Amino acid sequence: MRRPHLPWAKRSAVLIAAIASVLSVSAVNSPAANAAVYSSCSIDGCSDAASANSTWSDLGYPTTRGWVDWPNGQCSYAGGEYYNNDGQLPSGDTFYEYDVYPRTCGAHRDAYRIVVDSDTGAVWYSPDHYSDFYQL
């Protein structure tokens, strides 16, 4: 059976869309396999991450994904379980991820996260959506 002939412009557009889709899914859903993990945090944003962690702790570290009312009338997002698929953090533990910076409920999320080890209480700050981790 012969496939229908598509004009070169349409074939190119379909190919580009398919490649972009694959690249965007892998970039968003997969942390960098070569992520660096640091035992302390002294970069810009560490104090903001520590402050966010204090608020999340006061809220009992929610474990379900969703928007959470923040003290200043804004919201912040609890991302649910962080699966540590690439093994940058201690293996065998359970982790949950939280946004650092509050915003209006439903607004676009940025790349700044804290990840909490629910087994040990250790907390890491990731300023670049899991490419690097700095322990708070």
**3 part of a folded domain:** no
The CATH number linked to 88 is 3.10.450.30
102, with CB counted inside 10 A (0-12, 13-18, 19+), is buried
pLDDT in 10s for each residue of the chain, 136 residues = 444 454 544 444 444 444 444 333 333 334 445 668 888 899 999 999 999 999 999 999 999 999 999 988 999 999 999 999 989 999 999 999 999 999 999 999 999 999 999 999 999 999 999 999 999 9
Strand 36-38 versus strand 132-135 pairing type: parallel
Give how many domains the chain has, as a whole number. 1
HSE value, Cβ hemisphere, 13 Å, CA-based, for 42: 2
The residue range of the domain holding 63 is: 36-135
| Nearest CA-CA partner of 81 in 99, 68, 97, 70 | 97
Handedness of CA 34, 40, 43, 45 (dihedral sign): positive
